[in-house]
Amino acid sequence: MTLEAIRYRSGSLQILNQLLLPHETVYEEIRSVRDGYEAIKSMKVRGAPAIAIVGCLSLAVELHAGAGGDDIISFIRDSLCHLTSARPTAVNMGRAARELMEFSENESLEKNGPQIRESVIGWIEAMLERDVNDNKKIGNYGAQHILSGVPRDSVTILTHCNTGSLATAGYGTALGVVRSLHSLGRLKRLFCTETRPYNQGARLTAYEALSEGIPATLITDSTAALAMREKGITVVVGADRVVANGDTANKVGTYQLAIAAKHHGIPFYVAAPSTSCDLSLESGRDIVIEERPAQELTAISGVPVAAPGIDVWNPAFDVTPHQLITGGIITELGVFLPSELQAALTGRLTAL
Ligand code: MRU
């Protein structure tokens, strides 16, 4: 069974409400940019590529229903600006907004309203297929690179958060590498961290692994260093934004995994499409880190677990310095050391 986070056909968009997983499988209709924004902000849909795709598709369905009227360009601009503000750390929505705005403005030089509407919808629809294709390339490049270090053995991978079909248009990035290894018969086991406070690992990655028959073991976030010492692990995580020097923002807890991996001499890989890369920022210090509400820590599924009144700091992401990314950055264009990334992507990415 392949999980579908996003169900789209012309004029209709449904998203799997990931807040209800793994206990309930409920698809919700997204009819407008406002619905898309709410779904992203509330984390019914999450994961850097999926945020951008759902955001843009929410615009496509509203355009399909005739929104924008006589001033379609202003409508597209305002909608993209609103969608980009929902979650600040992942660059994918901002990049898609920039590219789509440029495309729309160019179209408007020669086309009328209905024609612009049609071509903008077409541009957005192409994102779905492109993302799945890129993820399959990431999976393939990543698996080959990891296996080149162990020509005959199978490998044990540790991952954090959820980077699979639920976080993308399909297949996944870091979890795509795991899928590729599994389909080659070279995955011994996947260790997934529970990923507090939102439990994307326990709820989503574990669910994806079980649905696809991937041998997987759930560990608490605090077991990761021990697992590295005992289980012969390679670490592969995703990214929300990779900047020019190779520093990488990903789900909070990634940084300490990278430090522990370095301590144990274990390869640490980041898997991300080029759409998650942002060469306009020089270093990770420039990345805006989203802070989420205190209740995500003080309660689990609505049940209070913390001493009432305690102060809370809840950053959703942290930055892994490029020096700790020892395996490489796996993209749809190949696997690069952080120091090689900028040269590899220059000329292939639109400026942000
Ligand atoms: O807060 P989330 O669930 O959106 O965080 C997701 C992550 O950090 C993922 O690792 C990242 O977006 C890559 S998804 C392919």
What domains are defined for the chain? 6-131 (1.20.120.420), 140-346 (3.40.50.10470)
Q: Is the pLDDT of residue 2 over 80?
A: no
Could you report the per-residue pLDDT of 289-300, keeping only the tens digit for each? 999 999 999 998
Per annotation, catalytic residue among 35, 131, 134, 240 = 240
Give me the chain's average pLDDT, please.
96
Global confidence as pTM? 0.97
Dist. CA 163 → ligand 1 center (Å): 6
**Ligand 1 pocket residue status of 316, Cβ below 6 Å:** yes
Residue 43 CB neighbours (<10 A):
19
Dist. CA 117 → ligand 1 center (Å): 31
DSSP state of 65: T
Could you report the per-residue pLDDT of 214-252, keeping only the tens digit for each? 999 999 999 999 999 999 999 999 999 999 999 999 999
Q: Is 240 a catalytic residue?
A: yes
Q: What secondary structure does DSSP assign to 299-352, as a single string?
A: EETTEE-S-TT-----BSEEEE-GGG--SEEEETTEEE-HHHHHHHHTTTS---
What number is the average pLDDT over the span 4-27?
96
